[in-house]
Amino acid sequence: MTASAETTVANPFEQLPQCAANHQALTPLGFIARAALVYPDRTSVIHGARRYTWAQSYDRCRRLASALHRRGVGTGDTVAVMAANTPEIFEAHFGVPMTGAVLNTLNSRLDAPALAFCLRHGDAKVLITDREFAGPIGEALKHLDRDILVIDIDDDQARERGPKLGALDYEALLAEGDPAFAWSPPDDEWRAISLNYTSGTTGDPKGVVYHHRGAYLTAIGNVISWQMPPHPVYLWTLPMFHCNGWCFPWTLAAVAGVSVCQRSFTGESIWQAIGEHRVTHFCGAPIVLNMVANTPADRRPKISHTVQVMTAAAPPPAATLEEMQRQGFRVTHVYGLTETYGPSVVCAWHDEWNELPIEEQAQLKARQGVPYPNLEGLSVRDPLTMAPVPDDGETIGEVMFQGNVVMKGYLKDPMATRVAFGGGWFHSGDLGVRHPDGYVQLRDRSKDIIISGGENISSIEVENILHKHPAVLLAAVVARPDDKWGETPCAFIELKDGFAPSEEEIIAFCRSHTAHFKCPRTVIFGEVPKTSTGKVQKFKLRHQAKEL
Amino acid sequence: MTASAETTVANPFEQLPQCAANHQALTPLGFIARAALVYPDRTSVIHGARRYTWAQSYDRCRRLASALHRRGVGTGDTVAVMAANTPEIFEAHFGVPMTGAVLNTLNSRLDAPALAFCLRHGDAKVLITDREFAGPIGEALKHLDRDILVIDIDDDQARERGPKLGALDYEALLAEGDPAFAWSPPDDEWRAISLNYTSGTTGDPKGVVYHHRGAYLTAIGNVISWQMPPHPVYLWTLPMFHCNGWCFPWTLAAVAGVSVCQRSFTGESIWQAIGEHRVTHFCGAPIVLNMVANTPADRRPKISHTVQVMTAAAPPPAATLEEMQRQGFRVTHVYGLTETYGPSVVCAWHDEWNELPIEEQAQLKARQGVPYPNLEGLSVRDPLTMAPVPDDGETIGEVMFQGNVVMKGYLKDPMATRVAFGGGWFHSGDLGVRHPDGYVQLRDRSKDIIISGGENISSIEVENILHKHPAVLLAAVVARPDDKWGETPCAFIELKDGFAPSEEEIIAFCRSHTAHFKCPRTVIFGEVPKTSTGKVQKFKLRHQAKEL
């Protein structure tokens, strides 16, 4: 079915010119130009007392691009940003790539050595940094053996404002720029738009490179997969530094929505924003959902509209789901990795599932699901033979991705890139199954599987059971070395306020729900260590379990 | 800002591999695979008593592809389809390009010589044709001097079933095919997917070629611009042969919607479908809207939901708009050409405009508007200097398009293609203005402008005034040669039932609304000739006006 070179030449359909009239690089940057053209007076960004319209945001982004351009920033350069969820990092998603440069948003919870690694590895030429993070960033800059232009974000909403590290403030930089700056789309949509370092639980973080084409397609994929109407009011709980906020800065420009910024949040502050700004959409890990669901009733404003919540990283437990639904939220479960521009798989919901008991709904919603319309391939395969596993919901394989919303590659790491793309599929490292209806469900990360007496135990399966216990707020299960069995499951549990079950009670609860060999042998109560994006840090727990 | 070859080589962001894992051709064909995977049991197509699910439709499309492939159809070939809006033409939008071939849907109102021209010029290797059109198609085939495989569509809904012309029936062809046919996306998204002949009011029709990339982007652009929810129920009033039904077959696969087919329609049949199938969306020229709005009340079922209507070709008159809104319809005005995959410009609505008097709403909605999110460039320019006109709502220029939803070119007509793309913009031939808020409004086709005493008169402006008259159902204004003035406006008017105004009354009405020199000097009452898609055929009226 594919044409040989010979038939192409003879084929009159292929003898038509590609030119500016009928071919342009796909880029999400056009969305902000359109939002400013069509809805210049609609609100784009709210941050405390600051409020911008799309005309103003576009103006500020072009000033940023112009000022950076005048200071020599262009194609091939990197601009790093260390910021909370504020207007500046939102603007950087447009202003930086308008110069042709690559945006590298830094994880604001990283320590100085990790930050220094990112700045060095990413060759950042400019760093825009919020004063709240002056401590670790100042340290990191000392480790850099070269010049870098530092710009300070001086935000009066910051909890603390450390020393200024830079040559000038962000607003002074904007003042240098021309609001009429004539930016161009990239000459090739395959050009890099951003650089996102993975959290790197072992070894150095990897620099995941996104391109304009993928960012455009994910931005639009978010609209369709989440059925976003025009002008949604989006609350930034998800950090914008994380996978470019799942590409939502660009999505919000495409639908001319409102970005409600919060530097940090609590369940109460989320409720407050929903009440005050009529927030319609936000994203967050299940732990964020828990915070919202468990906010005391007297701290919640009355709301009359439905709030759409997108969640990832772990399936939402049934109890959380039920409470969220009762309170007016509708939860969409998505799945993806830094390497797939954030979410690219969605548990697409069937209306008839609404009629099922909530427990069954939670079970269906716990599945990661099906590809976004813009993800070309999703498959569960045997990594050895690359054969797809049967659709039986039981045979475990590696979840693999293929298509335009898979990263360009790992920066300066051609071998890691080739390994990740082995056989023409991106190997996620996540283990999962495919159900008879085609929905994919994760079973575990390869390294999270517990092997006890030669049997595989899915830590996720055990965690799902624990989450059904009324006292459990958060549970994480890892392998504990065992002389007899090799490994046994060890559970770490955060309890809800006012509950104090015993270890025996928890184990007995598990035994009433699953095979004995899968039940935890050890239960530890206390706070569970998490990444800045709310992911449980299992490597720390594994270390702890070894020391027990 | 664009990189030289040298900087590209040195730029580590550009040293990452493009492979199957992270790069796939954009094609709308993937949407039906996804619909069949995620929503296998949801209804895809309804046609009389026939009903298919997405699993069945995907099965039928693959059978079609497989059967064509076995009969030697592949990349570089053309498959022509002559059909009413039935499941077969819907399936051809997927099954034909799955083989690598190009789909050429024929205008079912064309006469035999025009059809023969299309079959010959497009090199159709296969023709799938409905028995209702056996007359003109049979004639056309006699004019072809080569073999062509003919397949008959034998639809029991057809008004009349002419002789079978082909080797076999469509269903027999499907029976030859393998429902597990392993189609591939094109090796390049720039490959042709379809061929659409313009109506060609003068000279031979031109063969407009679409590619997979543009079809994908338009399909998704429709979802976002029209804010389509998942599973819309779409009524086929717009012919699928016209610009591939504005790419809606592919859009409906992307959102797993229902296609309600009607071979032909009346206002009453549209109402019936809305009542019976709970139709949520349909497209049609303003004349279709008129048919709907003017359906007697006792022929309309009660509806409790809002029906979204997309209209193009002419602005909806205020009276129609008001009546439609009162009856539960919401009208979106779009604009485009065959060369832009159908609509690529939308009169994006501002919520606050809903508070305005209906007359003002109609005036705002009469504007063609702003680019779809996926149209990169829309501009009104002086075709001589290529300078954009000022945003004053008065200076007339040519409306020009730029981007990925502009055709690949005119088949076998490289010079016409180069002329159309002069200066890197697609020249639409439509004249218009740009308003201070950036919205574009058409003034006229270049050839429709009336020049009277040296003054330009926009025929659209005069028509808009005539449409305000309560007796006028449809008005078209053209130039009539005049010894003294060069040309004067001549109005052709279709009246609503029960009205009989005089020529003088109409002229007086116009004079009370605009400058005297712009008012018609001549008024002719009677039916106005239209194309199959509801466009007024002004060239016929100009001819008639000359003969007066």
DSSP string, A144-173: --S--EEEEE--TT-S------SSEEHHHH
> Is residue B216 assigned to a domain?
no
pLDDT band at A5 (very low <50, low <70, confident <90, very high): very low
CA distance B436 to chain A (A): 10
Inter-chain residue contact B22 with A348, CB threshold 8 Å: no
B161 in the same domain as B114: yes
A210 in the same domain as A84: yes
Cα B121–Cα B124–Cα B129 angle in degrees, nearest 5:
120
B68 in the same domain as B186: yes
Q: Which of A524, A521, A512, A529 is nearest to A469 (CA)?
A: A512
Tokens coding B234: 């779409």
Q: Which of A482, A501, A485 is nearest to A545 (CA)?
A: A482
> Is residue B15 assigned to a domain?
no
Mean pLDDT across A291-295 = 90
Q: Which of B490, B458, B497 is nearest to B476 (CA)?
A: B490
Residue A410: list chain B partners with CB under 8 A.
Answer: 16
pLDDT band at A3 (very low <50, low <70, confident <90, very high): very low
- Beta-carbon contacts of A50 under 8 Å, excluding residues fewer than 6 positions away, are A87
Strands of the A370-371 sheet, one edge to the other: A50-53, A43-47, A258-260, A233-235, A281-283, A307-311, A329-337, A342-346, A370-371
Closest-approach residue (CA) in chain B for A181:
B1
Distance of alpha carbon B546 from alpha carbon B510, whole angstroms: 22
B345 in the same domain as B424: yes
Q: What is the CATH number of the domain that holds B273?
A: 3.40.50.12780
Determine the residue type at B269: S
> Is residue A236 assigned to a domain?
no
Mean pLDDT of chain A: 92
Q: Which of B143, B108, B110, B102 is nearest to B126 (CA)?
A: B102
Inter-chain residue contact A424 with B21, CB threshold 8 Å: yes
Query: What pTM did the predictor assign?
Result: 0.88
Residue A104: list chain B partners with CB under 8 A.
Answer: none
Residue A374: list chain B partners with CB under 8 A.
Answer: 220
Listed residues B446, B462, B485: the one ending a domain: B446
The predicted structure's pLDDT at residue A401 = 98
Least-confidence region, from A120-124, A306-310, B30-34, B360-364: B360-364
CA B325 to chain centre: 23
Tokens coding B96: 């034909």
Inter-chain residue contact B13 with A192, CB threshold 8 Å: yes
Judge whether A418 is closer than 8 Å to chain B, CB to CB.
Answer: yes
> Is residue B17 assigned to a domain?
no
Residue A196: list chain B partners with CB under 8 A.
Answer: none
A462 in the same domain as A492: yes
pLDDT band at A299 (very low <50, low <70, confident <90, very high): very high
Tokens coding A81: 């940003």
Q: Which helix (H) or strand (E) holds B112?
A: helix B112-121
A-proximal residues of B, 435-454, CB under 8 Å:
438
CA distance A339 to chain B (A): 10
Residue B345: list chain A partners with CB under 8 A.
Answer: none
Q: What is the CATH number of the domain that holds B501?
A: 3.30.300.30
Neighbours of A507 (CB within 10 A): 18
Q: Which helix (H) or strand (E) holds B135?
A: helix B134-143
Inter-chain residue contact B3 with A371, CB threshold 8 Å: no
Inter-chain residue contact B22 with A404, CB threshold 8 Å: yes
Question: Nearest Cβ partner of B409 from A16, A69, A350?
Answer: A16
Note the ipTM here.
Answer: 0.86
Judge whether A107 is closer than 8 Å to chain B, CB to CB.
Answer: no
Determine the residue type at A514: T
The predicted structure's pLDDT at residue B112 = 92
Residue B115: domain span: 54-211
Listed residues A419, A446, A473: the one ending a domain: A446
Inter-chain residue contact A402 with B24, CB threshold 8 Å: yes
Distance of alpha carbon B411 from alpha carbon B122, whole angstroms: 8
> Is residue A250 assigned to a domain?
no
Question: Nearest Cβ partner of B373 from A34, A376, A407?
Answer: A34
Inter-chain residue contact B414 with A17, CB threshold 8 Å: yes
Question: Nearest Cβ partner of B3 from A2, A76, A214?
Answer: A76
A58 in the same domain as A46: yes
Distance of alpha carbon B332 from alpha carbon B349, whole angstroms: 8
Among A139-148, A524-533, B166-175, top mean pLDDT goes to: B166-175
> Is residue B221 assigned to a domain?
no
pLDDT tens per residue across span A353-398? 999 998 899 889 989 999 999 999 999 999 999 999 999 999 999 9
Does the structure show a pLDDT above 70 at A160?
Answer: yes
Judge whether B301 is closer than 8 Å to chain A, CB to CB.
Answer: no
Query: Residue ranges of the alpha helices (H) in A72-190?
Result: 87-98, 112-121, 134-143, 170-176
Closest-approach residue (CA) in chain A for B12:
A412
Q: Please say whether the beta carbons of B461 and B429 come within 8 A.
A: no
CA B72 to chain centre: 31
The predicted structure's pLDDT at residue B3 = 39
Q: Please say whether the beta carbons of A99 and A185 come within 8 A.
A: no
Closest-approach residue (CA) in chain A for B207:
A13
CA distance A457 to chain B (A): 29
Q: Tokens 């109560």 identify what position?
A: A525
DSSP SS3 for B370? strand
Listed residues A446, A478, A493: the one ending a domain: A446
Mean pLDDT across A239-258 = 97
Q: Compute, in degrees rounded to 10, the torsion defined by CA atoms B333, B336, B337, B343.
A: -80
Q: How many CB pairs under 8 A join A and B?
A: 212
The predicted structure's pLDDT at residue A1 = 36
B-proximal residues of A, 53-72, CB under 8 Å:
69
Inter-chain residue contact A377 with B10, CB threshold 8 Å: no
Tokens coding A541: 């727990």
Residue A187: list chain B partners with CB under 8 A.
Answer: 2-3
Digit-by-digit pLDDT tens for chain B (548 residues) are: 343 444 445 789 988 989 999 999 999 999 999 999 999 999 999 999 999 999 999 999 999 999 999 999 999 999 999 999 999 999 999 999 999 999 999 999 888 999 999 999 999 999 999 999 999 999 999 988 888 999 999 999 999 999 999 989 999 999 999 999 999 999 999 999 999 998 655 567 899 999 999 999 999 999 999 999 999 999 999 999 999 999 999 999 999 999 999 999 999 999 999 999 999 999 988 778 888 998 999 999 999 999 999 998 777 777 788 888 888 899 999 999 999 999 999 999 999 999 999 889 988 998 999 999 999 999 999 999 999 999 999 999 999 999 999 999 999 999 999 999 999 999 998 999 999 999 999 987 767 888 887 777 888 888 888 988 999 989 999 999 888 888 899 999 999 888 999 999 999 999 998 888 889 999 999 999 987 667 788 889 999 998 88
B415 in the same domain as B454: no
pLDDT band at A22 (very low <50, low <70, confident <90, very high): very high
Q: What is the CATH number of the domain that holds A176?
A: 3.40.50.980
Torsion angles phi and psi, residue B79, rounded to 5: -115, 120
A208 in the same domain as A90: yes
Distance of alpha carbon B213 from alpha carbon A90, whole angstroms: 29
CA distance A31 to chain B (A): 7
Inter-chain residue contact A100 with B1, CB threshold 8 Å: yes
What secondary structure does DSSP assign to B153-219, as a single string?
Answer: E--TT-S------SSEEHHHHHHHS-TT------SSTTSEEEEEE---SSSSPPEEEEEHHHHHHHH
The predicted structure's pLDDT at residue B257 = 98
Distance of alpha carbon A422 from alpha carbon A403, whole angstroms: 14
pLDDT tens per residue across span A461-511? 888 889 889 999 899 999 998 888 888 999 999 999 889 999 999 999 999
Mutate to test the interface with B, among A1, A223, A354, A427 (most CBs of B within 10 A): A1
Mutate to test the interface with B, among A13, A190, A341 (most CBs of B within 10 A): A13
Distance of alpha carbon A225 from alpha carbon A218, whole angstroms: 10
Cα A145–Cα A147–Cα A153 angle in degrees, nearest 5:
115
**What is the distance in angstroms between the CA of the first residue and the CA of the last residue of chain A?**
61
Residue A18: list chain B partners with CB under 8 A.
Answer: 190
A473 in the same domain as A441: no
A433 in the same domain as A530: no
The predicted structure's pLDDT at residue A539 = 86
Q: Please say whether the beta carbons of B333 and B383 come within 8 A.
A: no
Domain count, chain B: 3
Mutate to test the interface with A, among B13, B69, B341 (most CBs of A within 10 A): B13
Distance of alpha carbon B195 from alpha carbon A438, whole angstroms: 35
A108 in the same domain as A127: yes
A504 in the same domain as A380: no
Distance of alpha carbon B104 from alpha carbon B96, whole angstroms: 9
The predicted structure's pLDDT at residue B485 = 81
Cα B441–Cα B446–Cα B452 angle in degrees, nearest 5:
100
Judge whether A330 is closer than 8 Å to chain B, CB to CB.
Answer: no
Distance of alpha carbon A89 from alpha carbon A240, whole angstroms: 7
The predicted structure's pLDDT at residue A109 = 84
> Is residue A241 assigned to a domain?
no
Inter-chain residue contact B421 with A19, CB threshold 8 Å: yes
Between the alpha carbon of residue B445 and those of residues B398, B442, B450, B538, the distances in Å are 9, 8, 10, 10
Closest-approach residue (CA) in chain A for B194:
A13
Torsion angles phi and psi, residue B373, rounded to 5: -60, -20
CA B80 to chain centre: 18
pLDDT band at A321 (very low <50, low <70, confident <90, very high): confident
Torsion angles phi and psi, residue B370, rounded to 5: -125, 160
B-proximal residues of A, 250-289, CB under 8 Å:
254-255
Distance of alpha carbon A434 from alpha carbon A394, whole angstroms: 8
More confident position, A250 or A430:
A250
> Is residue B104 assigned to a domain?
yes
